[in-house]
Structure 1
Amino acid sequence: MAEISLAKARTMIRKTLEAGRAQEMKPLAVAVLDAGGHVIAFERSDGAPPGRFELARAKAYGAVMLGMGGTAQRDRAEAQAYFMIAANGIYGGQLAPVPGGILVRDKRGRVVGAVGVTGDTSENDLAVGIAGIEAAGFAAEG
């Protein structure tokens, strides 16, 4: 099974943070998880609140555990709130169903992990996260 190496995870984080700085976003935090939902790497920009780890991880964790990016999770929550309430209960309240949770797919389309970005608007978090994932040679599904 393909994996996200530590070097690739660090590239995703670096490129995500660079994209955020280039767009003059608020300080960001980025978590990269493997396909089992385990943290590979995390970093937060200077000035990002300390609680951002949990939120970045929750965005990524929801994406990998449910097999859908944060945008799809948000849409599902709006259409079927009971589904996301149940899923969040099953996963111990660890999901954040909003944009910024991004599935990472390899060249064959297999899910190899997820990235969670938080700190600016959810849509901005999503955009820079996609840039970071693609810069590392993977496909993104937000």
Structure 2
Amino acid sequence: METIDYAQARRMVADALARAAGEYGRPICAAACDAQGFLLAFARADGAPVRSIALSQGKAYSAARMGVGTDAFLARLHRENIPASYFCDPALTALPGGAVVKNAAGRLLGAVGISGLAPEEDQAIADLLAASLDTH
């Protein structure tokens, strides 16, 4: 498998909205992209903040392009005391809520981005989805 496919991306997005509603009682936006960061699936739950549309997509893109979760990217920026702009990609964000999807060998297959909850809650859902996707 080179990248996640459309069906997997749709399942992750649907699972994200269901988890947010069930565990947090709040609407979110969820995005899934392929290994290059290109959007495959997106959904905005009824009542989710409009700003979360771009944020969820940016988090998925950033995780895929950087090869790590956006929480890890944020930690790197703080640790190295550098701004995200140093990476010459204005679409990158280090807001927590993006997670990479990898296969059993550790190869990057895509990413998921969540927005609409507190940053640590967005990240928890993204991490759970990325870890639970069957990539075999």
TM-score (norm 1): 0.86
AA of the residue aligned to 2:95: V
**Structural mapping, 1:9-48, within 5 Å:** 9-48=9-48
Query: d(CA) in 1 for partners of 2:83 and 2:91?
Result: 15
Structure 1 runs of 4+ aligned residues shifted over 4 Å read none
Maintained 8 Å contact 2:98/2:114: yes
Contact 1:62 1:95 in 2 (8 A): yes
CA shift in 2, pair 1:25/1:123, >3 Å: farther
Q: 1:2: how far off?
A: 2.1
Aligned partner letter, 1:121 = A
2:77–2:83 CA contact under 8 A, matched in 1: yes
Deviations 1:55-93, CA, capped at 9 Å, x for gaps: 111111111111121111111121223252312xx11x2
Which aligned pairs between 1:84-123 and structure 2 lie closer than 5 A?
A: 84-87=84-87, 90-91=88-89, 93-123=90-120
Q: CA deviation at 1:119?
A: 0.3
Unaligned runs of 5+ in 1: none
Question: 1:12 & 1:134 partners in 2: Cα distance?
Answer: 11
Displacement after TM superposition at 1:46 (Å): 0.4
Q: Distance in 1 between matches of 2:46 and 2:85?
A: 33
- For residues 17-70 of structure 1, give each alpha carbon's deviation from its aligned partner in whole angstroms, at most 9, with x where no partner exists: 111111124311011010111100000110012232211111111111111211
**Could you tell me whether the CA contact under 8 Å between 1:64 and 1:103 is conserved in 2?**
yes
Q: Distance in 1 between matches of 2:127 and 2:19?
A: 10
> What is the 5 A alignment of 1:35-74?
35-74=35-74
Aligned match of 2:3: 3
Kindly state the Cα deviation for residue 123 of structure 1 after the two structures are TM-superposed: 0.9
Amino acid at match of 2:116: G
Count of residues in Structure 1 that have an aligned counterpart in Structure 2: 136
Q: CA RMSD in A?
A: 1.8
Instruction: Give, as a single letter, the amino acid of the residue that structure 2 aligns with 1:123.
Output: E
